[in-house]
Structure 1
Amino acid sequence: MNETRPPLWTRNFIGISISNFFLFMTFYFLLVTVPIFVVDHLGGEKSQAGLMITVFLISAIIIRPFSGRWIERFGSRVILLCSLLLFFGATLLYFLADSVGILLVVRFLHGIGFGMATTAAGSIAAMTVPHSRRGEGMGYFILSTNFAMVIGPFLGLTALQNWGVNAMLQIAAGSAFIGLLSGLLISLKEEKKMRGNLPPMKLKDAIFEVKAIPIALTGAFFAIVYSSILSFVSVYAGELGLSHVASYFFIVYAVVLLLSRPTTGKWYDLHGPNFIVYPAIILFAAGMVILGTADSAVMFLTAAAFAGLGWGTLFPTFQTIAIQASPPKRAAMATATFLSVFDIGIGLGSFLVGLAAAKVSLGDLYTYSTGYVLAGILLYYFLQGRKLRKEKRKEINAA
């Protein structure tokens, strides 16, 4: 039976996965080093260092809806290559940034390239993955992002601390360049047949994909909690006296993802999204309560494993739902809609968690987040799960 399954690891899929990895590795590489660069080398304030991240995300969020429309008009490959070229060019501009003001402009341009590239990459991945293996394929594709999240910060801090600013920027530029080269491997001949003169559409349809909004809002809801891990888990490790294992948190997270991805992806394709979403939410909640009550390295890393199984399964599942809920020709806009709303959740979460952390301890905050995550079961059910259950029943009855 496996012999008749359509191939997944095609040249296009491998190319877009590699390109996506280096795109996000550059992003995470600079995410942890730019604030240090601003404070230690440009003499900026900590508030200005935080602004560098905000400006980058704002430009990425703003450009994504336009990117989705451009992809529909000009094709995913064209927009991907243009955006990767812009992303690489902006990375080179960091060498010229000798003031906070100039660096803000560079970060804004870099965010535009990033927003366009991530939208195009998601669209190409959805296009190249066989429909019958959509859950499995998108899971592997997003795994490239997860690995970048682990390797990027580690390599960035290592380069800055041991080799200096120039070496750090050279590695970032090299990573962006490899991402561009990988994009050149992609050939989408079938895309030309799908494209044509686009009919006029309403403004709301040109800005976002309506059918992707329910699952995008669900993703943003959970992203608020995930942002607390991204932003404060290393600080929390220090408070626990576990700084020596903080860097291993996302390594355990990524390893668990790698081991679970083949199974969860196949379950998605065989049984549908609901089969894995509800258990994943519970696992994510378990990870938060373990993290909030951790008093040893074992518990701290166990929380990483549960978070990897939980949130690491939810994110690719939600993005796949967004794409499948939309017409094939709107895959790019569905991707743009999902990622834009998700990034708003990350940005809002980082702000809210920062405010909350001033009132309660991080341990209590993570523990309280458990109830919030479990409440997401109801949100998912009413916004998406109920509809998917009805569609699954129709499929079963039709068969």
Structure 2
Amino acid sequence: MSDITNTPGLEPATPSDDHNPSKSLETPKNAPKETFYTRQFGLLCLSSFLFFCSFSMILVELPAYLTKLGGEAYKGYIIALFTLAAGLSRPFSGKLTDTIGRTPVIMFGAVVCFFSGFLYTWLITVFGFLFIRFIHGMSTGFTPTGTAAYVADVVPASRRGEAMGIFGLINNIGPAIAPALGSLIVVYYPIDYMFYCSTIFAALSLLLLSRLKETLPKEKRQPFRLSLLKINPRKEIIEPRVIAPAISFLLLVVPFGIVLTIIPDFSEHLGVFKSHFLTVFTLSSLGIRFVAGKVSDRFGRVQVIKVGSVVLFTAMAIVGFATQGWMLLTGAVFFGIAVGIISPTAFAWTIDLSDDAGRGKALATLYIALEAGIGLGAIFSAQIFNNNPQNFPWAFWLGCGTSLIAFIYLQFGLRKQDIV
């Protein structure tokens, strides 16, 4: 099969278009609609779905598991260490994505995810658990960076937002069903079985990845060597072109870190099954991702993300005021709508502002912001909560504050060249 970047209708935007984002999104009125529904796109979506199932199915059970190990005071580190490792991995995964290729980076993350499932069953001390969380985080430091670059390679610029929406939709079906599956396994079997199931999902993801064709052009590929792991802090960590999407995204994912850390305890406090919030919010985000992507292609990324920030503020306010299960799940619906609006649009915005040569670094920059925001949300919400139910509202209202700051930044803090 020929290199996919040479397939008619699937060429990535030219460098000149990438330097002019608004131009790259223009499509002649009478031009045929370019497609991105290809075998490679389908394989990547299915593999990514299984990858997300692998690490998300264990999330809601980890706080209780850590408590049983005697580490109740370290709940905030369940997410924080995971995101710290992912964030530290991003400069390396971004550079390697642009040098050795997309598929090796994607597969490395899946391999880490595969072995992490086994490690949870072997290292059963508090320190061992926290060590595994850090190692496990490297998986999301590599695989999503490579997959995002791969998607950008194989979709036409005029349908970038739509493609990111569909890709995100399929990815989020995993987190919608996997946590409930993980909790169900723990009800009837020892928790080790949940970790083994996580490993099986990672193995299936790897199997599909082996069928992917590399999209980085041959003339740009280099064989792996240790010197590629040497990072120039000034030039190879942050892509200056995408600072605006990164800042806004960091602020808007703080609530996600709060939710991942506090919702399991808050759900039990209100008498709601621990996985229900994650399932409801993920399901509510699915349909809106497709719509938000298409709308952002037409009306612009910034305007759509501003709408998302308002919905996110509303969601965190509802959850903070929740005193009954139905109020919590109502907040979950709004939270899912907000995530469905913001996430694909932020990635499309980042790709719009990047060029072909630095696409991996640009996406790594956004992912660094993602991990930093989630980590900060996890750490600060855990400190605010401090295992005291009276502090639940304040932990969630922290997310209201960062959502408001993000809206203000999008409204008044952007440069002209950032607005697409």
Please indicate the TM-score interval, normalised by the length of the shorter structure. Answer: 0.7 to 0.9
What is the aligned counterpart of 2:243 among 198, 213, 220? Answer: 213
Q: How does 1:165-204 map to 2 (within 5 A)?
A: 165-189=191-215, 191-195=217-221, 203-204=233-234
Change (3 A) 1:331 1:54: same
What is the aligned counterpart of 1:133 among 132, 135, 159? Answer: 159
Q: How does 1:242-253 map to 2 (within 5 A)?
A: 243-244=271-272, 247-253=275-281
Q: Does 1:63 align with 2:93?
A: no
Report the AA paired with residue 391 of structure 2.
Answer: S
Residue 118 of structure 1, CA deviation: 2.0
> 1:309 aligns to what?
337
Alignment partners' CA distance in 1, 2:406 and 2:160: 24
Q: Does 1:333 align with 2:361?
A: yes
Change (3 A) 1:348 1:371: closer
Residue 286 of structure 1, CA deviation: 2.0
> 2:8 aligns to what?
none
> 1:344 aligns to what?
372
Change (3 A) 1:81 1:247: closer
Report the AA paired with residue 234 of structure 2.
Answer: K
Alignment partners' CA distance in 1, 2:161 and 2:212: 21
Alignment partners' CA distance in 2, 1:254 and 1:3: 35
Alignment partners' CA distance in 2, 1:162 and 1:201: 47
Alignment partners' CA distance in 2, 1:338 and 1:62: 13
Change (3 A) 1:383 1:184: farther
List runs of 5+ in structure 1 lacking aligned partners.
Answer: 393-399
Q: Give the SS at the match of 1:188.
A: coil
Q: How does 1:374-385 map to 2 (within 5 A)?
A: 374-384=404-414
Change (3 A) 1:124 1:376: same
Change (3 A) 1:2 1:82: farther
Alignment partners' CA distance in 1, 2:78 and 2:267: 25
Alignment partners' CA distance in 2, 1:165 and 1:354: 24
Q: Does 1:124 align with 2:150?
A: yes
Report the AA paired with residue 262 of structure 2.
Answer: F
What is the aligned counterpart of 2:261 among 231, 237, 244? Answer: 231
Alignment partners' CA distance in 1, 2:75 and 2:329: 29
Q: Give the SS at the match of 2:236.
A: helix
Change (3 A) 1:39 1:304: closer
Change (3 A) 1:324 1:85: same
Q: Give the SS at the match of 1:341.
A: helix
Alignment partners' CA distance in 2, 1:179 and 1:294: 38
Alignment partners' CA distance in 1, 2:291 and 2:251: 25
What is the aligned counterpart of 2:321 among 293, 312, 325? Answer: 293
> 2:136 aligns to what?
110
On the 8 A contact 1:212/1:326 being kept in 2, the answer is yes
On the 8 A contact 1:215/1:380 being kept in 2, the answer is no
On the 8 A contact 1:218/1:383 being kept in 2, the answer is no
Report the AA paired with residue 239 of structure 2.
Answer: E
Alignment partners' CA distance in 1, 2:120 and 2:231: 39
Change (3 A) 1:211 1:160: same
- Judge which range, 15-24 or 62-71, deviates more: 15-24
Alignment partners' CA distance in 2, 1:34 and 1:129: 37
Change (3 A) 1:82 1:304: closer
Change (3 A) 1:2 1:355: farther
Residue 237 of structure 1, CA deviation: 3.8
- Judge which range, 211-220 or 49-58, deviates more: 49-58
Residue 190 of structure 1, CA deviation: 5.7
Change (3 A) 1:368 1:36: closer
What is the aligned counterpart of 2:312 among 279, 284, 305? Answer: 284
List runs of 5+ in structure 2 lacking aligned partners.
Answer: 1-28
Residue 81 of structure 1, CA deviation: 2.1
The C-alpha deviation readout for 1:119-138, integer Å capped at 9, x for no partner, is: 11221122222211110111
Residue 330 of structure 1, CA deviation: 1.4
On the 8 A contact 1:267/1:275 being kept in 2, the answer is no
Q: Give the SS at the match of 1:204.
A: coil
> 1:397 aligns to what?
none
The C-alpha deviation readout for 1:79-132, integer Å capped at 9, x for no partner, is: 222332233233334443354455454444333233112211221122222211
The C-alpha deviation readout for 1:245-295, integer Å capped at 9, x for no partner, is: 664333332232222222211111112113312222222222223333334
> 1:28 aligns to what?
56
Report the AA paired with residue 115 of structure 1.
Answer: G
> 1:257 aligns to what?
285
On the 8 A contact 2:258/2:381 being kept in 1, the answer is yes
Residue 163 of structure 1, CA deviation: 1.4
Residue 230 of structure 1, CA deviation: 2.4
Change (3 A) 1:82 1:285: closer
Alignment partners' CA distance in 2, 1:253 and 1:110: 24
- Judge which range, 301-310 or 173-182, deviates more: 301-310
On the 8 A contact 1:56/1:111 being kept in 2, the answer is yes
The C-alpha deviation readout for 1:180-202, integer Å capped at 9, x for no partner, is: 11212211356325547999996
Q: TM-score, normalised by structure 2?
A: 0.81
Count residues with an aligned counterpart.
386
Q: Say which structure is richer in helix.
A: 1
Residue 50 of structure 1, CA deviation: 5.1
On the 8 A contact 1:30/1:172 being kept in 2, the answer is yes
> 2:296 aligns to what?
268
> 1:87 aligns to what?
113
Q: Give the SS at the match of 2:354.
A: coil
Residue 2 of structure 1, CA deviation: 10
Q: Give the SS at the match of 1:74.
A: coil
Q: TM-score, normalised by structure 1?
A: 0.85
On the 8 A contact 1:293/1:367 being kept in 2, the answer is no
